[in-house]
Structure 1
Amino acid sequence: MPFSRNKEEQIKIFQDKIQYNFKAPELVVEALTHSSYANETKNRKFPYNERLEFLGDSVLSLIISDYIFNKYKHLPEGELTKVRANVVCEASLASVAKKISIGDFLMLGKGEELSGGRKRTSILADAFEALIGAIYTDGGLELARKFVLDNLLDLIELASNGELYKDYKTHLQELLQSKTTEKIAYRVIKEMGPDHDKTFEVEVCLGGQTLGTGSGKSKKEAEQNAAQEAIQKVRR
């Protein structure tokens, strides 16, 4: 739990990472606090990030809609909707959250920590939206717009060209088809937690070589995360 000690120092490190300094630092703490942590500190009435996530989701949608509406004047409404959906989907937001290391700074409950919550796609995407909500609350729409576009422009360009994939397994398969005839294999290498709350760790292999690993609350989620990591390696 990164803010339990040296709180001010950790806030500064994170603000440097995202290149935004909060006038109200409590907002960034709230944005990075998962409900599992708040539930373990009920006596302190610790605020968690679901309200900011709700706000950030709307702010994000507005910013992306406004940008692509003005940028891609040739696209009809249906295509604009597809571009926006691909940019603001859970997998895309989680990938950006990973780039700015949100997972390293999250405040999680003990159970969520042990089950790999710092790498979970849904938690990372939600925290990214909460961070947008926090920046909007702290600095207004224009600063929120700058943060969003600074971090999502590459994804917007990919989505507008039809190159942004939500299905990482399919994307990985297509990337490798031109390179090899060998088949990709997914294998569960670890299962953690009780039957009602399992976390799976999966590796994706090609010809006996591990291309990527990923974890998730289902095998499907873990496979997608493993494929996402593999794509990054294949593209290098």
Structure 2
Amino acid sequence: MSESSQVDAAQAQSSPTAGVASAHRTARVERTTSESSVVVEIDLDGTGAVDVSTTVPFFDHMLNALGKHSLIDLTVRATGDTDIDVHHTVEDTAICIGEALRQALGDKSGISRFGDALVPLDEALAQAVVDVSGRPYIVHSGESEAQVHHLIGGHYTGSLTRHVFESIALHAGICLHVRLLAGRDPHHIVEAQFKAFARALRFAVARDPRVTGVPSTKGAL
């Protein structure tokens, strides 16, 4: 190795920012079907920068909350047969977000694994608990039957909320409990749940410098 190369290598090793970008846990997922076309990019070690467009305005609003409050950088581009129904576009976007989370987490070494959050939004109150367990499971409770059938923002049906969480949990490989504890306004009910999930996810995927290897007595997640 030449003297200049040795100096460059030494500077790279001593630099506090050397390797930081490569250490970020990122993923890009593309999914195209006859019903939708979706591209999702995430960075688990981001700052909550969000750039989303799904052609479903209220869902965009919820994804903005998800990225902002989880501190996960989230980019989404989705189009679909929304002239028929927004269900396909929303579902396929959630599938891609879940898959991107799974890929970005890798072997899950060094993560906190568990996250819990209780989030209010005016009269609404929601709790979310996340376990990055590798075993997908979803428990979603507290919504009234009226909420399930409510149309929010002209396109988003209340029944889609559980479906989004279900699709993310299944494809990310996480155990997710979401409970609505109080709420009257349909918009607030959904948003409180997304924010609670975001905060719980933030804590669960965060790196803990005290954790060595995978946080499981089995040695794998």
Higher relative contact order (CA 8 A, sep 6+): 2
Could you say whether these structures have the same fold, taking a TM-score greater than 0.5 normalized by the shorter chain as the test? no
Q: Judging by fraction of residues, say which structure has more helix.
A: 1
Shorter-normalised TM-score: what interval? under 0.3
TM-score scaled to structure 2, two decimals? 0.26
TM-score scaled to structure 1, two decimals? 0.25
